[in-house]
Amino acid sequence: MVTGWHRDTWIEVDLACIRTNIKNEQKILPKTTDIWAVVKANAYGHGMLEVAKAAKEAGAKGFCVAILDEALALRAAGFSEEPILVLGAVRAKDASLAAEKRISVTLFDPSWLEQVTETDVPLRLHLKIDTGMGRLGVRSQEEIKQAAEKIAADPRFELEGVFTHFATADQKDTAYYDTQLQRFREGVACLPKKPAYIHVANSATSLLHDQADFNVVRFGVSMYGMSPSDEIKDILPFELKPALSLKTRMVQVKELHPGDHVSYGATYEAKANEWVATLPIGYADGIIRHYSGFSFLVDGQKVPIVGRVCMDQLIVRLPREYPVGTVVTLIGQSAEQAILADEIARHLDTINYEVTCLLSDRVPRIYKENNHF
Ligand SMILES: Cc1ncc(COP(=O)(O)O)c(C=O)c1O
C-alpha cells in the first residue's frame, strides 16, 4: 500500500510509552517469567519493526505474531536471535522455511506433523491446548500424548513449548478462567517431558493472575497502553500509557448557512450559520463510516463529525472559524482533553484492539520518545 507522506494525516507512536508499559509489566512478573511482545497485525497498528525494536530494548525476550510472513519480516529486519512464535496456523508446506529461520510454530493438530515433508533443521513447536477457547488447539489428553510421542520420535521436530489461551481473562468473574487453567495443568501433566516454555498469559492474564508457574507471557494490547477491557480497568496493577495518537490538519474551512447539506446522501443539514472543516482522512485510513456522530478534538474542544464519512475525507463542525492547517486530534491528547481508543470502541460497539488495528498503512507512522520527535 502507498503511504501518504505528502498528506497532513499521521499517527504518532510514543515508543517511551511502550518501554514504560513493558518495564512496569516486568516489575509485576516473577524474575523467571519473560515477556514476549505480541507484534502481530503491524503491532496492533503501531508499526511492527519499530515496536519490536523498542520492546527488545525495554527487555522483551521474544515475539509473537499471527502469520509466518510477520515472523519472516522480523527475521529479515535483523531480529535474528530472539524466539518468534507464530500463534496462527502455518501451512505444513512452509514448515521447512519456518525451521530454517528458527521460527517457532503452533502445533494444534497432531496430524499436521505427517504433512510436513522436509526440514533440514528441527522445527520448533509449541503445542497449543484448547482448554475452552474453542479456536486452535488439541482438546483431549490422548491428542496431547499422541502429539508428544510423534514429536519425540521424529528428529525433524522439537517440542519447545506448550500453551493455552483464555477466553475470559479480561473479566472479573474467574470461574471460566479457573476451569481453563485447571484443564491446562492437567494437559501439561500428560507430557512425558516438560518443554522449555510453558505459557498461558495474554495481557489480561498477566496483569491479574500470578505467573509463577509459567515462564513466558504474551504481552499484547497493554504493551501499547490499552486496557484489555473496560471491565478490569479499575483493578489493573499499574497505569497503562497509551502510545498511539492520530492527527490530521484541516484542509478546507467554510461557513454553512441554514439548509446547506454535507457529504454523501446530503444527510446532514445546517440549521444555522456554522463553520465546518474538511479533514483529509476517511474510511480507507481506518476511520470507518460508523464513526459518524463521534467527535474529535481541536484545542481540547469537541468537534463532531457531520454527514457521512467518505473514503478519504470527512467533515467536522467547528465552534468557530479556524485557519486551514489547524491540527485535529482523532486519538490522543489535545490541550487538556484526550480521546482514548476505548472511547471510540464504545461508540463503534467494538474493542480498542480493533480501533488501532483498523488504521491502514496509508497513514504514516511517526515515532517519538516522551512526546519528542
Ligand atoms: C494466542 C494469543 N496470545 C496472546 C495474545 C495477546 O493478547 P493481548 O493483546 O490481549 O495481550 C493474543 C492476541 O490476540 C493471542 O491470540
At 146, give phi and psi (nearest 5°): -60, -45
Residue 373 has pLDDT above 90, yes or no: no
| Rounded Cα distance, 99 and 119, in Å | 7
Q: What is the SS3 assignment for 6? A: coil
Q: Residue 274's closest CA among 290, 259, 294?
A: 259
The sign of the dihedral angle between the CA atoms of 151, 190, 87, 37 is negative
What residues does ligand 1 touch, defined as CB less than 6 Å away? Answer: 38, 87, 165, 202-204, 218-221, 228
Domain ranges within the chain, ordered by starting residue: 15-231, 244-339
Q: Which residues are catalytic?
A: 40, 264
| Ligand 1 atom 4 nearest Cα | 202
pLDDT band of 128, cuts 50, 70, 90:
very high
Closest approach atom of ligand 1 to CA 219: 11
Residues in the chain: 373
Closest approach atom of ligand 1 to CA 165: 1
pLDDT in tens, 307-329: 999 999 999 999 999 999 999 99
Alpha helices, DSSP H, located in the chain = 15-28, 40-44, 48-58, 68-76, 95-100, 112-115, 141-152, 175-189, 203-208, 341-348, 352-357
For ligand 1, the distance from its centroid to the CA atom of residue 194, given in whole angstroms, is 23
pLDDT in tens, 340-358: 999 999 999 999 999 999 9
| Strands 84-86 and 62-65, bridge-based pairing | parallel
- Chain position carrying cell 493438530: 109
Query: What class, spelled out in words, does domain 15-231 have in CATH?
Result: alpha beta
Pocket test for ligand 1, best of 46, 202, 205, 224 (most atoms within 8 A of CB): 202
For ligand 1, the distance from its centroid to the CA atom of residue 45, given in whole angstroms, is 14
Residue 370 has pLDDT above 90, yes or no: no
Closest approach atom of ligand 1 to CA 228: 10
Closest approach atom of ligand 1 to CA 223: 11
pLDDT band of 371, cuts 50, 70, 90:
confident
For ligand 1, the distance from its centroid to the CA atom of residue 65, given in whole angstroms, is 9
Closest approach atom of ligand 1 to CA 169: 10
For ligand 1, the distance from its centroid to the CA atom of residue 97, given in whole angstroms, is 24
Residue 14 has pLDDT above 90, yes or no: yes
pLDDT band of 120, cuts 50, 70, 90:
confident
Mean pLDDT value across the chain:
97
Provide the 10 A C-beta neighbour count for residue 279. 25
Q: Residue 243's closest CA among 64, 373, 367, 58?
A: 367
| Ligand 1 atom 8 nearest Cα | 220
Residue 22 has pLDDT above 90, yes or no: yes
Q: What is the SS3 assignment for 247? A: strand
The pLDDT, as a whole number, for residue 44 is 98
For ligand 1, the distance from its centroid to the CA atom of residue 218, given in whole angstroms, is 6
Q: Can you tell me the mean pLDDT for 150-173?
A: 97
Q: Are 291 and 260 in contact (CB under 8 A)?
A: no
pLDDT in tens, 256-278: 999 999 999 999 999 999 999 99
Alpha helices, DSSP H, located in 234-364 = 341-348, 352-357
Pocket test for ligand 1, best of 63, 87, 130, 217 (most atoms within 8 A of CB): 87
Pocket test for ligand 1, best of 29, 35, 38, 227 (most atoms within 8 A of CB): 38
% of the chain beyond a pLDDT of 90: 98
Q: Are 321 and 255 in contact (CB under 8 A)?
A: yes
pLDDT in tens, 60-113: 999 999 999 999 999 999 999 999 999 999 999 999 999 999 999 999 999 999
Provide the 10 A C-beta neighbour count for residue 118. 9
For ligand 1, the distance from its centroid to the CA atom of residue 202, given in whole angstroms, is 5
% of the chain beyond a pLDDT of 70: 100
SS3 content of the chain, % helix, strand, coil (to 5): 30, 25, 45
The CB-side HSE value for 215 (13 A sphere, CA atoms) comes to: 10
Q: What is the SS3 assignment for 304? A: strand
pLDDT band of 214, cuts 50, 70, 90:
very high
Pick among 2.60.40.10, 2.40.37.10, 3.30.470.10, 3.20.20.70: CATH of 244-339: 2.40.37.10
